[in-house]
Amino acid sequence: MSSLTTPSLSPAARLRGLKPDWLADPKVWRTEVLAGLVVALALIPEAISFSVIAGVDPALGLFASFTMAVTIAVVGGRRAMISAATGAVALVIAPLNREHGLGHLVAAVILAGLFQVVLGALGVAKLMRFIPRSVMVGFVNSLAVLIFMAQVPEMRDVPWAVYPLIAGGLALMVLFPRITTVVPAPLVSIVILTAITVGAAIAVPTVGDKGTLPSSLPAPGLPDVPFTLDTLTTIAPYAFAMALVGLMESLMTAKLVDDITDTPSNKTRESVGQGIANIVTGFFGGMGGCAMIGQTMINVKVSGARTRLSTFLAGAFLMVLCVAFGPIVSDIPMAALVAVMVMVSFATFDWHSVAPGTLRRMPAGEIAVMVITVVCVVATHNLAIGVVVGSVTAMVVFARRVARFADVTSVTGPDGATVVHRVTGELFFASSNDLVGRFDYANDPDHVVIDLSAAHIWDASSVAALDAIGAKYARRGKTVEITGLNDPSARLHGRLSGELAAEH
C-alpha cells in the first residue's frame, strides 16, 4: 500500500513564496517604481495648490502628501491607492486655519485621525453597501469633470506656447503606448516636454511658479495649542467633518479601484489606516488628507500599478524630488502636468453611462440620481456632498418605486358574512400611508380578514396603519382578523400593535 506525500519545499523556495509581487517579478517592480515616480511628479503642484486653498505654507501640503502616502502604504487596506493632501480636506479646515491659526489646524488633523480610527473600528465602512450603482457612476463622472475643471485655470491667460505643449503631451500619451508600455507614457511626456521647454528656453508657467519647494524633511512635534477643553470644542467640529469627508472619499476611491482591478480590499482596514495616516501627518505638521482619486487613477489606470510599493514610492519620491532635485523639478512646465491630468479625466469618465443606447434603456430614476450626483459635486466641489445627496435621492426613488407594488385584492365569502383582503407587497412608511384608504369600511361584512401572507411589515408606520384599519372597522362594530404574518412581521406587529396611535 503506497501513500502520497507532499514534497517539502526548501527554505529558499518557501522564502520566494513569501516575497511580494514587486520583489518576485522584475516587471512588476519596474512598473511600480515608474508609476510611483509619475504620481510624485503630479503630486507636487496639486499639493501646493491645496495648501493655498487651506491658507498654509506649500511645504505643509507637500509634507502631508509625503507622510500620508508612506503611512497608508503600510497600514491601508487598498493596494495601489494614493492618499495625500486633498482639496476636499483643505476646504473643510481652511476656515479653522483662518480664524484660529496653524496650531489649531494641526491639532484638528490629529483629532480627525482619531475619529477615523474609531469610526473604522465601529464598522463605518459597511455603510458603503448602501451606495447604489447610479451614485457610484455619478461620483466617477463628477470626479472626471472636477479633474478637468481644475486644469482650466492653467490654460487661461498663459503664453501661446502652453497650448501646443499640452497638445503634444496628449499626443505622446496616446501614441507612445503603441510603441512600448515598459515606461509609463505620462513620465515620457513630462520628461520630453521639460527637455523641450528648458532646451529651447520657452517661457511658460512651471512647477516652481506654484510655490517654494521644501529643502529639508519634516520634523515631528506637538501642535502649538493650549491643551484645554476650549481648544477641543473649537477643533472638534472641523475634525469630525474632515474625518467624514476623508473617509467617504477614501472608501469611494477604494471601491472604484476594486472595480478597475477586479480585486477586493479591506474597507475597515482602509478606514483605520486613513486615521493612522492623518495622526502621523498631524504630528509632522502636515495639513491632513485622504485618498486622491485623480492620482490614484494615474497610478492604477494609466501606469498599471497594483501594489503598495507604488504608493510608498510616490511619497518617498515626492520628498526626494523636493529636497534633492528641487531646482530640476521646479523647471517642469505646468503644461506637461495639465496634459497628464486631462488624460486622466478622459480615462476616468464613464462614457458608456452617457451613451444614447444606455440612456434609452436606463430607468428615468437611475438617470436622475446620476445627474443629481454630478450636479451637486460640480456645484459644491465636494464629492462627499454629492454622494450623500445622490444616495438620499436614490433612496427616495427606490421608496416611491417599491411603494407602488403594495396592492389589495378583496374576495367576499359565499355566505356574504366574511371578506378576505389579500395584501401583497412591501409595507413600510411609503406604502402603508396609502393602505388605510384601500378598504370599504362602511360596506364590508361584519367579519374582515386581512391576509398578509404575500406581504412583509418593515416598520412602525405599517403597524400603525394596521392598527388604524382595525380601529376604523371596530367603530362600525366589525371585527378584523390579521393572518399570514411571517415570523419577522409577526414579531414586529406583536411588539408594537396597540402601542402606536391608531388614527391617521
Per-residue pLDDT reduced to its tens digit, 145-157: 887 888 888 899 9
The region, left, alpha or beta by phi > 0 then psi within -120 to 50, assigned to residue 304 is left
Please provide the average confidence, as pLDDT, over all residues in the chain.
Answer: 87
Nearest of 311, 30, 41, 314 to residue 180 by alpha carbon: 30
State residue 23's pLDDT score. 64
In 316-430, the DSSP E strands lie at 407-412, 418-427
CB-CB neighbours of 64 under 10 Å: 34
**Residue 64 to residues 70, 116, 177, 280, Cα–Cα distance (Å):** 10, 17, 32, 9
pLDDT at 362 over 90: no
What DSSP assignment string belongs to 270-284?
HHHHHHHHHHHHHHT
State residue 406's pLDDT score. 80
380 within 8 A of 87, measured Cβ to Cβ: no
State residue 21's pLDDT score. 61
CB-CB neighbours of 261 under 10 Å: 17
3-state SS assignment for residue 239: helix
Q: How confident is the model at residue 378 (pLDDT cuts 50, 70, 90)?
A: confident
pLDDT at 501 over 60: no
SS3 content of the chain, % helix, strand, coil (to 5): 65, 10, 25
Q: What is the pTM of this model?
A: 0.73
Query: Taking residues 85-106, what's their average pLDDT?
Result: 88
Strand order of the sheet with strand 447-457? 407-412, 418-427, 447-457, 479-483
The residue to which cell 407602488 is assigned: 404
pLDDT at 485 over 90: yes
What is the rounded CA–CA span in Å between residue 12 and residue 18?
A: 10
The distance of Cα 282 from the centroid of its chain, to the nearest Å, equals 22
3-state SS assignment for residue 290: strand
What is the rounded CA–CA span in Å between residue 348 and residue 140?
A: 7
3-state SS assignment for residue 6: coil
User: φ and ψ at 336, to 5 degrees?
Assistant: -65, -45
Cell of 390: 445622490
Least confident of 73-87, 375-389, 444-458: 375-389
What are the residues whose beta carbons fall under 8 Å from the beta carbon of 217, sequence distance 6 or more? 319, 323
pLDDT at 1 over 60: no
Q: How confident is the model at residue 8 (pLDDT cuts 50, 70, 90)?
A: low
What is the rounded CA–CA span in Å between residue 344 and residue 35?
A: 14
Least confident of 69-73, 97-101, 227-231, 413-417: 413-417
